[in-house]
Amino acid sequence: MPVLSDFTAPRLLGGPEPLSDFAGKVTVVVNVASHCGNTPQYEGLEALYKTYGPRGLVVLGFPCNQFGEQEPGTAEEIASFCTLNYAVDFPMFGKIEVNGPNADPLYKWLKAATPGSDNADIEWNFAKFLVGRDGKPVARFGDKVQPAEMSKAIEAQL
């Protein structure tokens, strides 16, 4: 069975990055959007990254325009928005699809491999997956779950 480090994804403002660069870290993988009611969750995700990063947490953001076309911008526009409005410092990747026939392989794997996920489609922007240090998904959190509410689950993996 694959693990997170088996995947590669294009950085938002760069080339492909092997996710093996994050091997051994606890990881939150989240589909994000700049024009969504959940967009303020960027602040909470950045807070998790700052708080738990020194202990081995990384947050990986994946812009997605599949839900109400709420991420229409270019890579440069997305990067600027995240930096100026939320001081996002965690790694951001290129825009992807998370559902349907063109879903990114990373998201196909996350939906299939996460306990309790049952291969269900992503409901909306800011659905979050928690991946353990071993690269295996351990939990899925819906779009309405605030990042701070994930703290106990994150701490259990750290």
| CB proximity list for 40: less than 8 A, separation 6 or greater | none
Instruction: Single out the catalytic residue among 9, 26, 30, 36.
Output: 36
Annotated catalytic, 82?
A: no
Q: What is the distance between the alpha carbons of residues 33 and 13, in angstroms, rounded to a whole number?
A: 16
Whether residue 10 contacts residue 94, with contact meaning beta carbons closer than 8 Å, is answered with yes
Burial of 6 (0-12, 13-18, 19+ CB in 10 A): middle
Residues involved in catalysis: 36
